[in-house]
Amino acid sequence: MSQKRILYISQEITPYLEETPMGIFSRWLPQRIQENGSDVRIFMPRYGLINERRHQLHEVIRLSGINIIVNDTDYPLIIKVASVPQSRIQVYFIDNDEFFKRKSQFGIEEKYGNDTADRSIFFVHGVFEAIKKLRWIPDVIHCVGWFGALAPAYLKTIYKDDPCFSKAKIVYSPFEKEEEGELSEKIMEALHFDGIENELVTPMNGAYTPEAIRRMAIAHCDGVVMPEKIAQSALLEYAKECNKPILEYPGDLKENVQKFQDFYDSLVD
């Protein structure tokens, strides 16, 4: 079996923010999958909360310099990278002074208004454009959390014919408790600009919330991985209603990494 290329997109990764179940999952699953023989890349936002000096972030000049258009406005993309301590894992950070300089994950600054949707769209576009510039073609894209959850819809529309992504399968993982931001109806305008409209946004049910974005991700992904054990999950039930392939929580990452690998393989092979 040929080596798989797995791209991880997560809204938070340990140790760059305060430790959470999502951060731990997004830290260790890529490492276990890499140790299992896959080629891995990881992306997250470069929030202003991240201490660049402590974590030794540095700009990747050859990947920076792209302009990302969000709702008819150009924003410069900056890519930074850091090595996870005591591992062979590197994390790429999507950065832009206007969107990610603020000292919070999803806080709203008065001078920018509610730009949470624009920040999320910039993040997703930034990851895909960086991957194109890396000339690294993923087999599977695993998206974790609501902030990058627009990735499945963008992969199936704007990037569907791009040779870097045309064969990629996308997996989504929601967490029961996630750090959330406030969205507004402005998200529809930004999505409309990119051609994400009509039946593509139907899963949102007219809501402008992180939960609505998670539903949209499930509707457009190729498979769902439940990253934690939950007695009742509305999103898991929704995934079943959508007839998505599902990997329910398989247990400890270290002991069950092959179950994750097998799930990825089942989507690609």
Exposed (0-12), middle (13-18) or buried (19+): which is 221, by Cβ within 10 Å?
Answer: buried
Residue 232 has what pLDDT?
A: 67
Average pLDDT of span 109-116: 83
Q: What CA–CA distances, in Å, run from 15 to 3, 55, 232?
A: 28, 9, 29
Q: Is 220 helix (H, G, I), strand (E, B) or coil?
A: helix
Mean pLDDT of the chain: 93
Dihedral sign (CA 141, 134, 187, 192): negative
Q: Report which of residues 233 and 156 the model is more confident about.
A: 156
- How many whole angstroms separate alpha carbon 127 and alpha carbon 74? 16
Could you report the per-residue pLDDT of 58-108, keeping only the tens digit for each?
A: 999 999 889 999 999 999 999 999 999 888 889 999 999 999 998 889 888
Residues 35, 214, 94, 197, CA torsion sign: positive
3-state secondary structure of 269: coil
Q: Residues 151-195: pLDDT tens digits? A: 999 999 999 999 999 999 999 999 988 999 999 898 999 999 999
**Sequence-ordered strand ranges (E) for 145-222:** 169-173
User: What CATH number does residue 211 fall under?
Assistant: 3.40.50.2000
How large is the angle between the packed helices 186-193 and 116-134, nearest 10 degrees? 30
Model pLDDT for residues 37-53, shown as the tens digit of each residue: 999 999 999 999 999 99
Distance separating alpha carbons of residues 53 and 64, to the nearest angstrom: 19
pLDDT at res. 32: 94
Tens digits of per-residue pLDDT, 8-36? 999 999 999 999 999 999 999 999 999 99
- How many domains, in total, are found in the chain? 1
Q: According to the model, what pLDDT value does residue 111 have?
A: 77
Quote the domain boundaries for residue 24: 5-268
List CB contacts of 20: < 8 A, sequence separation 6 or more.
12, 14, 177, 179
Q: How confident is the model at residue 134 (pLDDT cuts 50, 70, 90)?
A: very high
| pLDDT range class, residue 231, cuts 50, 70, 90 | low
Q: Which two tokens stand for residue 28?
A: 């260790």
